[in-house]
Chains A and B, each alone.
Chain A
Amino acid sequence: MKTTLNRYLAFIAMLLMSMAITNPGICQKKDRVRMKLSYTKDQKGERSIAITLTAGSGKSMHGVQNGTVSLLAVEGDSAVTIATLQTDTLGTAKLYLENGYLLPKSADGISMISGTYDGDDNYNSASNELQISDLNFAISFEERDSIKYLMITANQADAEGNELPVEELDINIGVDRLFSILPVGEVTTDADGWAELELPDDLPGDAAGTLTFVAYVDEHDMFGTVKSAVAKDWGIPVSYEVKPLPRQLFTDEAPFWMIASVFIILIGAWYHFFLSISKLIKLKKAV
């Protein structure tokens, strides 16, 4: 008896649920919105927080335009609004942090940032949180037994500003290129926050052989995206001089032999033409 009742209840519950999903009257027409928060510190040390609102899925996925989003700094139970931003056509709003600006930090150096979006007629509200811890890289180079090494130390500042080593951190090392960063290797820091990477010796650099090495972590839970770049002349120099193309069939200037041939032929032909015209002039005069 009890089981039948349970089954009956379960059936009703399922019915209600399915109605809730299919019936627009019950379910709100609004789209579900996802918020993504990300923190970036680039090579110049410029920090920014980006908020992206997306709705829909698959092919219908799109950014939420002109959404008003608030960024809050969370300290314990209290939260202070630090900025209110509008999203652009891609659903992204970006806030740069001026160099001296310090995000409120907890004792272990972690800042909590929360983003909220209230939603509107078409979209549901959304919120998300982001932990930020300020990560710094120190990069140096060393050559031992004619093998080139890149050495990197990862540090994190606590509330007092003390540098603490970050251990077990996976750091990507790459070389900056025109369109992207060419990965050279990946290292994991030890207990001292230190790691080293043997560098390949056959990477082409610029005219002086300079390569820009970039150490980066991408969308790390704790540190966000952090990049640090150092230039070092360990590449193979590639000439960046603009050499004019030699005179060829496909260049603007024709090969000399070709110009010469054409002119010789033309001079030969027109010489005879004018020679015969001169005979006519003589003819006209010889009366």
Chain B
Amino acid sequence: MEKQEEPSNNRRRFLKGTITLGAAAIATGAGTVFGNREESTPAPKTEKVKVLTTDGKVIEIDRPVDQCKIDPCVPPIGKEARQGIPGRSFVMVIDLARCKNARKCIEGCQEGHNLSPDQEWMKVYLMKDNPDGEPYWLPRNCFHCDNPPCVKVCPVGATFKRQDNLVLVDNNLCIGCKFCVVACPYSVRIFNWKTPPASDVPHEQYSPEVSLPAQIGTVSKCDFCADRAREGKLPYCAVSCPMGAIYYGDKNEDTVFNGSETVRFSEIIKDRAGYRYREELGTKPNVYYLPPVNKMFDYESGLSDLSEEKQKVYDEIRNSKNGNHK
């Protein structure tokens, strides 16, 4: 399970982690609390820890890792992966007022999912809603719609909707017809045109929740990092964002967390006028946006450190009379 080791290494940011870690212990400690959740034996995962015994000796013992928040901790493989995590309803809230195109979410996601640099599950767009509108940055991952157009059109059921809101791709089933890529109105899905970068995860352990290893000729997209949620960890994009613009959580718990701040989902949506992108399409996304009002940064701060070509693309949008498009 190479992948699960990696995240902790990734999290150089010392992630206000004490809270998360401490809270993680509750799940196993107060198991009765979650009595109604489905019972199954989690794969024993141990770590070596140093313990100071009562007689003053330091010994090293193996003990279960306290990182399992959802049973089972190991992402399911094959058909089981089509079942949602019981009782969960994952949502994401992206605060547009905080995004300054630092592009760390993209990098974090690419690193975590072993994507090549040209494959972006998370994208950041420069948007300009009307000719006089102030441009703003729009991070966009998969919206995990409740009425997903991509899933409807899949001829083999390789992409599927789960009860915990996730829309995932099983790349062992995908025939690569790209109909889902076409059907998604948000240009979320990408195709593995060539052999994807090699992954540490063996093929036998492939789970749609982990999306690794990727396969040539199949479609891939944001998986909402359900495998990390099982360990009580936020998605790569959320932990990577230096601005804390990405909140993630469980709607059933009415809680979203951005790595440092925990808020009630219903309250932040109410107070900040949260909306969903292109509601009129009827796709019922599970990603909410907080409007870019009282921005913490000028959008132009996101234009520095960019290549000249990229600047040019953005310049066309900034000067556009058409709003978003050139």
Asked if A and B form a direct contact in the complex, defined as CB atoms under 8 angstroms apart, the reply is: yes
Q: Which residues of chain A have a CB within 8 Å of any CB of chain B?
A: 38, 40, 42-44, 46, 62, 82-85, 89-90, 93-101, 174-183, 203-204, 206-208, 210, 212, 214, 216, 218-219, 225, 227, 229, 231, 238-245, 249-252
Cβ-neighbour of A178 out of B22, B160, B232 (below 8 A): B232
What is the distance, in angstroms, from B131's C-beta to the closest C-beta of chain A? 37
Q: Is the CB of B20 within 8 A of A206?
A: no
Chain B residues with CB under 8 A of A216: 22
Report A-chain residues with C-beta under 8 Å of the C-beta of B49: 94, 96
Q: Is A43's CB under 8 angstroms from B22's CB?
A: yes
Is there an interface contact between B54 and A101, defined as CB atoms closer than 8 Å? Answer: yes
Q: Is the CB of A96 within 8 A of B18?
A: no
The answer to whether A179 touches B52, judged by C-beta atoms less than 8 angstroms apart, is no
- Interface flag for B273 (CB, 8 Å): no
**In B101-156, which residues have CB < 8 Å from any A CB?**
147-148, 151-152
Q: Which A residues lie within 8 Å of B82 (CB)?
A: 252
A-B contact pairs, 25 of them (CB 8 A): A42-B22, A43-B26, A43-B29, A83-B58, A90-B8, A90-B12, A93-B50, A96-B50, A96-B52, A98-B52, A179-B233, A180-B20, A180-B23, A182-B262, A203-B254, A204-B254, A206-B34, A207-B87, A229-B29, A231-B32, A239-B87, A240-B86, A242-B84, A250-B151, A252-B160
Choose among A82, A99, A176 the residue with the greatest number of B CB atoms under 10 Å from its CB: A176
CB distance from B219 to the nearest CB of A (A): 16
A206 touches B33 (CB 8 A): yes
Residues of chain B lying within 8 A (CB to CB) of residue A95: 50-52, 58
A99-B54, A250-B161 are known; give 13 further A-B pairs, CB within 8 A.
A43-B26, A43-B30, A44-B25, A100-B54, A180-B257, A206-B34, A208-B35, A210-B33, A212-B26, A212-B30, A218-B18, A231-B32, A245-B163
Query: Within 8 Å CB of B88, what residues of A?
Result: 178
Which of B203-211, B245-253, B287-295, B308-316 forms part of the interface with chain A?
A: B245-253
* Nearest-Cβ distance from residue B64 to partner chain A, whole angstroms: 12
A-side contacts of B22, CB under 8 Å? 40, 42-43, 216, 225, 227
Indicate if the CB atoms of B58 and A84 lie closer than 8 Å: yes
Lowest 5 A-B CB distances belong to which pairs? Answer: A240-B87, A207-B36, A250-B151, A100-B54, A180-B257
- Specify which of B32, B87, B152, B262 is in contact with A177 (CB 8 Å cutoff): B262
Interface range on chain B (Cβ under 8 Å from partner): 35 or more
Partner of B163, one of A62, A85, A175, A242: A242
Is residue B44 contacting chain A, with contact meaning CB distance below 8 A?
no
**A224 CB → nearest B CB, Å:** 10
Cβ contacts B32-64/A at 8 Å (1 or 0 each): 111111100000000001111110101000000
Known contacts A94-B50, A101-B53, A178-B69: A238-B257 contact under CB 8 Å: no
Choose one: A178, A183, A250, A252; the contact of B249 (CB below 8 Å).
A178
**How far is B260's CA from A183's CA once the two chains are assembled, in angstroms?**
12
Q: Which of B51, B147, B253 has the most CB of A within 10 A?
A: B253
Please give the distance in Å from B138's CB to the nearest CB on chain A.
24
**B23 contact from A177, A208, A240, Cβ within 8 A:** A177
Compute how far the CA of A162 lies from the CA of B54 in the bound complex, rounded to whole angstroms: 21
**Hey, which chain A residues are within 8 Å of B52, CB to CB?**
82-83, 95-98, 101
Measured between beta carbons, the chain B residues less than 8 angstroms from A240 are 36-37, 86-87, 252
